[in-house]
Amino acid sequence: MYGTFKALASLLAVAVGVQAQESSVTRSFYGMAYSPDGALLPQCGADQASVTRDMGKLAQLTPRIRLYGADCNQTELVLEGIKQAGNVDLSVWLGIFIDGNDTVYERQLNAVTTAIQKYGTEHIAGITVGNEFLLLSYGDGGSATDPKGVAARTTLLNYIQKTNQTLKAMKLDKAIPLGTADAGSAVTKELCAGADYVMANVHPWFGHVPVEQSAGWTWQFFQDFDVNVCAQAPNKPVMYIAETGWPTASDNASITTNGPSKASVQGLQTFMDSFVCQANKNNTNYFFFEVCLLLPQQLLKTY
């Protein structure tokens, strides 16, 4: 497996035919977080050829990817990319980004439902409503149980319910699970009770732990603050780590370390070697954060 991870950089940096299989790479990752390059308002610079290439590459690394939002036509770009890459074996958790503004929600819900009508449900494993909406709502020093946190949770669960009603009215050929993604520390029993699945962001870098201990810390945090919390909910939602990884660099010289360890490629390698094998062995559902598939003249980036 170590050789697979060492080959990751070369796989992501080399532009070859999307259906060509890299012999040095196996599908070692449970899932990966993905956003098409340039899929940000107002520019919306993502293009189909690049996304199709990405889908062909990602299918060699993992059978699962998750998206964050639906702006800039990214839902259709990804589903079309899977088709153009040879109907590769990829399951996608679509994303609906929310910020509390109904217009933003409606715009993205419409984009998602339009894509489902066009491409069907074959490759859709879920729809994630919100990404760190709770954390961003209650802010630094707040919590998921303070008034701002409770109000944000109510808003979020209402959006999930509305999405569910919309999908039911479409009379699809299968039920699509609905969930949300948020900070691992933002998960509550009440949140879990309103979702089919919950994704928790768990980053050992922000836990200020040595990289050598990062894999074990990540698993323990996820169990203590997310899995065990949602186990108390009557519906027992499926649990995922929405994001985990290790930074390779910082654009701020004052935060090149988290205290005991540096942001470095070596640190990323150490985390991958330990966490991915551990997670695959103990059946932890996770999405590695994050992958960026680039042309040969570009460099591999993490976060």
Confirm whether 106 is a catalytic residue: no
d(CA 214, CA 272) in angstroms, rounded, equals 10
* Of 269, 273, 278, nearest in space to 216 by CA: 278
Query: One of 132, 190, 212, 290 is an active-site residue; which one?
Result: 132
d(CA 76, CA 116) in angstroms, rounded, equals 9
Query: One of 22, 80, 190, 243 is an active-site residue; which one?
Result: 243
d(CA 255, CA 9) in angstroms, rounded, equals 24
Which pair of tokens denotes residue 17?
A: 């035919």
Q: Where do we find the tokens 């020093």?
A: 141
With the C-alpha atoms ordered 133, 138, 142, 147, is the resulting torsion angle positive or negative?
negative
Strands 64-66 and 32-33: parallel
Amino acid at 147: P
Confirm whether 122 is a catalytic residue: no
* Of 119, 115, 229, 135, nearest in space to 182 by CA: 135
d(CA 277, CA 261) in angstroms, rounded, equals 21
d(CA 114, CA 52) in angstroms, rounded, equals 19
d(CA 200, CA 241) in angstroms, rounded, equals 5
Q: Are 277 and 1 in contact (CB under 8 A)?
A: yes
d(CA 176, CA 66) in angstroms, rounded, equals 14
With the C-alpha atoms ordered 276, 280, 282, 285, is the resulting torsion angle positive or negative?
positive
Known catalytic residues are 132, 243
